[in-house]
Amino acid sequence: MAVVHRTTMTPTKLELLASWLPTRPWYRGGGSAPELSRTGGFRLDDPRGEVGIEFMAVTDASGDRPRTYHVPLTYRGEPLAGADEALVGTSEHGVLGRRWIYDGAHDPVLAAQLLALLTGTAEPQAQSLSDTPDPSVTGGLAGAGPAGAFTSLTVTDGPDGTDLLVRTTGGGAAADATADSTADGPGAPLAIRVNRTLLAVPDAPADAPGPLGHVTAGWSLPDGSTARGRYVVVTGPAPA
């Protein structure tokens, strides 16, 4: 299990995000500098214990109304090859030393563990506590069998979110998820949308129509109440 250290980071995550967020195509700020607060999220464990994985909700109060963004982050002890464009920044960790912080949607370790979460083989962890599952994080992938081993990731950032195509050694997660899938055979990609602007929605009944899969979690609102919404949705198997 990942250890959450009680220590300092210089610069802080929010300081790095305040510079990085306005460069993203999905940011909806009003032109002034972001005014950020951390308002929710959860973590996943890297089975190798090398990469920190956090799904963070941050609320920006700089515009005409507060907006909450979903920013998955990964924390590494050395640079991720070929991922310069996904680098949020570097920070000095009080225990671990220099950390390279990436937009986690572009990190294959996060993608692999997100797929494991959707298929029921990874357990969400509390954002700020070590070795503590977070049962408030719910979701899954309807009708999916074992996903097979993660092999590759294709990422597209757009104005409405970030789309991932995740491929595995077997067609399990994609091909088993729906009867009329056009994906057939090993390596067929699963289409996943990382929602970047979080919107509160009620928890739908189990038999209600909706996305093929999702990850739903909560965050705090400016008035002190809480909301829940979909951090991630699975839009379906995609043609290879």
The domain spans of the chain are 9-237
Cα angle 27, 211, 198; round to 5: 25
Residue 240: the pLDDT is: 43
At 71, list the tokens: 């920013």
At 238, list the tokens: 């995609």
Residue 168: the pLDDT is: 87
Rounded distance between C-alpha atoms, residue 195 and residue 152, angstroms: 20
At 159, list the tokens: 């104005």
Residue 62: the pLDDT is: 92
Distances in Å between the Cα of 79 and the Cα atoms of 43, 84, 238 are 21, 8, 31
Rounded distance between C-alpha atoms, residue 8 and residue 96, angstroms: 10
φ/ψ (deg, to 5) at 189: -80, 145
pTM: 0.88
Specify whether the CB–CB gap between 113 and 44 falls below 8 A: yes
The residue ranges of the chain whose pLDDT is under 70 are 1-3, 143-147, 170-188, 202-210, 238-240
Rounded distance between C-alpha atoms, residue 240 and residue 187, angstroms: 7
Mean pLDDT of all residues belonging to the chain: 86
